[in-house]
Amino acid sequence: MSFAIKKQSEVVVVDVEGQLIVGNRQELKQKVLDELERGERKFLIDFSQTGYIDSSGLGVLVSLSKKIREQGGELRLANLNEDLKTLFELTKLDTLFQIADTRERALETF
Amino acid sequence: MPRLNSVLAGFHDVTGCASTVFLREETGKLRIYAMAPETATDTSWVPTLGSGPPTVVESPDGLVIIAVVPGPQRLWLAVGPCSRSTTSLDRFLHFLLPVVSQLLQSSLEAEHAANELAERYEEINLLYSISEILGRSVAEEDTAATILREVSDTVGARRGSILVYSADTNSLRPIASRGVDVAELQPIHLNDACSLSAAAFRDQRVILAEGDDGACPAEAPYRRGSILTLPIMWTPPEGGTAQPLGVVNLSDRASRRIFSAGDQKLLMAIATQIGTAIQNARLVRASLEQQRLLHEMGLAHDLQMTLLPRSSAVAPEADVAARVTPAESVGGDFYHLFRLSEARTGVMLGDVSGHGYRAALIMALAMSASAIHAQANADPGAMLAALLSTLSEELSSTEMFISAFYAVIDRAQSTLHFGNAGHPHAFVIAADGTTERLAAIDPPLGMVDVPPSANARPWESASDLLLLFTDGVTDAVNANGERYGEQRVLDLVRTHRAEKPATIIDHIFQALDVHKGDEPLLDDAACVVVRS
């Protein structure tokens, strides 16, 4: 489980490798908030290498999305696998995020 | 000394010469050890005795010859005066000296052995008391105080202290003292340049400071004159290197004697015992605290379970079975059942994000708030909206949220109204096995400020099953990391759909137990089955 952060044009792209769960969600949160503090405003979290997100992981995504929006920024999600897509739909979380099928599409329209 | 006395008496009978054995005590005082015949006990006439050749002296009774007895230089033999013999005193001395020497040698050996035994006895006694202390489950401070008292008594130290290392302050903390109240002692920082205790601990060595050597204000309260400072070492039972736990200081010996190499050796051995005693006391304390914590967690679990309603609360209108298994002693999953007006039944299932105490507190709040709002709001959407407005402050300040499903089943109208704020697993299963998901209408409570709304669908009384469960059920993993999954729960319930809700829920949790085996639940698991 790790979070790789890199900058692509104006967007901070975070790759979540493995799982996003109660045990590592704070790490993701801190990393993104550090970037926000540094002045970054556009964030994309890529889940192409993510197998599973638990409810506290979802909580962190929502809380990050709120904090970024408060600073006039935006958080987008990309590459949710079928299970994750279903989870977002079932819990109506898909209404809270801009979700793109691919990283490229998310970046294009930012 | 009966044997020596009878030898001297026999010698007097034969030769007519008196004889005396003098002993110089440790204090330097001379006393008569044996003599025949018994005459005066005055020794003031005796000159200063050394180890030189025999000397002839004038005693109050006549001429006497004195010589040192071969051996430890503490005994002298005096021969004379003689009443009848003309033989020189010198010859009598040469006759008697080897006899006396031989006798004394063996008796001194016996005396020495007796002393040695007495000394060992004290040591054995001390080790015995320490091992007794080891066996008792007492606090570290009590253990240290008892051991310090025993050790001080054995070596005759009137002042002393035991200090233990505290990693958080990097200092040595006094926990027991002698000759001064422990409350008056200050902790000693490990970098204290003048402290002997700090040096003994840092270097893990014994320090003997004589007189006023190495005087340090922090150590003055338990030091008078020479002080012996030993590190308290502890070796883990599984082996490995010994580590220092603290120091023991001993000072102000009643005998004013300096600590000998033998004393130091004994005290080193005892310091190791002290280390074990202190470590044991710590382990006992930790284990007691753990037990207390477990007990409290058990109480919290029981308390939380009593918050959940009995399924009989909604009988006979509804046949309900419900179960919650927290991942920790307490959790954030809950259900609630309400008997509403006109034979309607309210059924709620909630999942507070995360688990443990934080989630349990929000769960308790949600339970009590929903009981009020369910009676006041006929529409499930309005009920969830009221619940959100009650909890929104707590939820936003703790960054938590609740996925909540709330249904009102109306048998008379054959309808089911439901609100669903982010709850993924809610289903109606018909008598023919047809399964319909009651999908979320809104995101979980606490994620957005928009009030939840409600939907309605038909309800076949006494035949339809309402099935609700949380993601703790679907996310339960087995040893291979495979999740139990939603589909298995649905298949199982469809298979047993004609049975009573209580039986159906038993099937679900049994299958869940079989699936996860010995793997722990990672999240709280809750399930509700309703027929009405």
Range with lowest mean pLDDT among A56-60, B18-22, B355-359, B393-397: B355-359
* Cα distance between residue B375 and residue B200, in whole Å: 73
The DSSP 8-state label assigned to residue B204 in this structure reads T
Residue B280 has a pLDDT of 79
What ipTM was assigned to the predicted interfaces of this complex?
A: 0.78
* Cα distance between residue B461 and residue B111, in whole Å: 104
Average pLDDT over residues B507-518: 94
Residue B128 has a pLDDT of 62
Hey, what are B116's tokens? 């040695």
Yes or no, beta carbons of A91 and B444 under 8 Å apart? yes
According to the 3-state scheme, what is the secondary structure of B450-500?
CCCCCEEEECCCCCCEEEEECHHHHCCECCCCCECCHHHHHHHHHHCCCCC
Yes or no, beta carbons of B441 and A90 under 8 Å apart? no
CA B261-B265-B271 angle, 5° bins = 135
Q: Which domain holds residue A44?
A: 2-108
Tell me: cis bond preceding B316? Omega within 30 of 0 counts.
Answer: yes
Contacts of B399 in chain A (CB under 8 A): 59, 63
Q: Which helix (H) or strand (E) holds B325?
A: strand B319-325
Contacts of B401 in chain A (CB under 8 A): 59, 62
CB distance from B471 to chain A under 8 Å? yes
B269: left (phi over 0), alpha (psi -120 to 50) or beta: alpha
CB distance from A106 to chain B under 8 Å? no
CATH label of the domain that carries residue A85: 3.30.750.24
Contacts of A93 in chain B (CB under 8 A): 422, 443-444, 447
Contacts of A59 in chain B (CB under 8 A): 353-354, 399-401
User: Would you say residue B307 has pLDDT above 80?
Assistant: yes
Residue with tokens 């080891």: B134
From A54, A87, A93, residue closest to B523, measured CB to CB: A54
Yes or no, beta carbons of B443 and A92 under 8 Å apart? yes
Q: Contact B286/B500 with Cβ under 8 angstroms?
A: no
* Cα distance between residue B532 and residue B409, in whole Å: 8
CB distance from B354 to chain A under 8 Å? yes
User: Would you say residue B400 has pLDDT above 90?
Assistant: no
CA distance B471 to chain A (A): 8
Select the residue from A28, A64, A86, A91 to test the B interface by mutation, using most B Cβ atoms within 10 A: A91
Residue B383 has a pLDDT of 96
The DSSP 8-state label assigned to residue B69 in this structure reads P
Residue B427 has a pLDDT of 97
Contacts of A62 in chain B (CB under 8 A): 401, 443, 447
Select the residue from B328, B395, B399, B468 to test the A interface by mutation, using most A Cβ atoms within 10 A: B399
* Cα distance between residue A61 and residue A26, in whole Å: 11
Mean pLDDT taken over chain B: 87
Q: Number of folded domains in chain A?
A: 1
Average pLDDT over residues B304-308: 86
* Cα distance between residue B167 and residue B173, in whole Å: 10
From A56, A58, A90, residue closest to B439, measured CB to CB: A90
Instruction: Domain B308-531: give its CATH code.
Output: 3.60.40.10
User: Would you say residue A1 has pLDDT above 60?
Assistant: no
CB distance from B423 to chain A under 8 Å? yes
Contacts of A89 in chain B (CB under 8 A): 439
Name the pLDDT band for A52 (thresholds 50, 70, 90).
Answer: confident
CA distance B522 to chain A (A): 10
Q: Contact A96/B448 with Cβ under 8 angstroms?
A: yes
Q: Contact B357/B398 with Cβ under 8 angstroms?
A: no
* Per-residue model confidence as pLDDT tens digits over B466-512: 999 998 999 899 999 898 999 999 999 999 999 999 999 999 999 99
- Residue B230's contacts (CB-CB under 8 Å, 6 or more residues apart) are B200, B206, B247, B248, B264, B267, B268, B271
Would the CATH topology of B136-285 be identical to that of B308-531? Answer: no
* Beta strands, E only, A10-92: 11-20, 42-46, 50-53, 74-78
Yes or no, beta carbons of B442 and A59 under 8 Å apart? no
Yes or no, beta carbons of A93 and B353 under 8 Å apart? no
Hey, what are B128's tokens? 């015995």
Range with lowest mean pLDDT among B70-74, B305-309, B512-516: B70-74
Q: Contact B407/B347 with Cβ under 8 angstroms?
A: yes
Yes or no, beta carbons of B399 and A96 under 8 Å apart? no
User: Would you say residue B1 has pLDDT above 80?
Assistant: no
Average pLDDT over residues B263-286: 80
CB distance from B422 to chain A under 8 Å? yes
Yes or no, beta carbons of A93 and B447 under 8 Å apart? yes
Residue B91 has a pLDDT of 84
According to the 3-state scheme, what is the secondary structure of B76-95?
EEEEEEECCCCCCHHHHHHH
Q: Which option is the CATH number for B2-112: 2.40.30.10, 3.30.450.40, 3.30.470.30, 3.40.50.2300?
A: 3.30.450.40
Yes or no, beta carbons of A55 and B441 under 8 Å apart? no
CA distance B340 to chain A (A): 27
Residue B309 has a pLDDT of 92
Residue B72 has a pLDDT of 66
CB distance from B448 to chain A under 8 Å? yes
CA torsion sign, B273 to B278 to B284 to B290? negative
* Per-residue model confidence as pLDDT tens digits over B184-240: 899 999 999 899 999 999 999 999 988 888 888 889 999 998 899 999 988 877 777
Q: What's the N-to-C CA distance of chain B in angstroms?
A: 107
Burial class (CB in 10 A: 0-12, 13-18, 19+), B305: exposed
Name the pLDDT band for B136 (thresholds 50, 70, 90).
Answer: low
Residue with tokens 């001064």: B180
In 10 A of CB A63, how many CB atoms? 19
Rg (CA), chain A: 13
State the DSSP string of B383-443: HHHHHHHHHHHHHHHHT--EEEEEEEEETTTTEEEEEEES---EEEE-TT--EEE---SBP
In 10 A of CB B220, how many CB atoms? 10
What's this model's pTM, rounded to 2 decimal places?
0.59
CB distance from B349 to chain A under 8 Å? no
Helix (H, G, I), strand (E, B) or coil at B72: coil
Name the pLDDT band for B332 (thresholds 50, 70, 90).
Answer: confident
* Extents of the domains making up chain B: 2-112, 136-285, 308-531
Q: Contact B334/B308 with Cβ under 8 angstroms?
A: yes
Yes or no, beta carbons of A96 and B443 under 8 Å apart? yes
Instruction: Domain B136-285: give its CATH code.
Output: 3.30.450.40
Residue B96 has a pLDDT of 87
